[in-house]
Amino acid sequence: MRVKLFQLRGMLSGPRILYIHTYIYMLIQVIDHI
């Protein structure tokens, strides 16, 4: 799952997309913590 996210990050570009990706990454960190 994480590998796919990193691949998406490589294909997508733009400040808005980076912001969304960071938000999703933080959500995953919280879910992993639980």
26 — pLDDT class (breaks 50, 70, 90) = very high
Q: How far apart are CA 26 and CA 31, in angstroms?
A: 9
pLDDT score at 10: 67
Identify whether the C-beta of residue 29 lies closer than 8 Å to the C-beta of residue 5.
no
Q: How far apart are CA 7 and CA 20, in angstroms?
A: 15
pLDDT 10s digits, 3-21: 777 777 666 666 677 788 8
With b meaning 16 or more CB within 10 Å and e meaning fewer, what string describes 13-24? Answer: eeeeeeeebeee
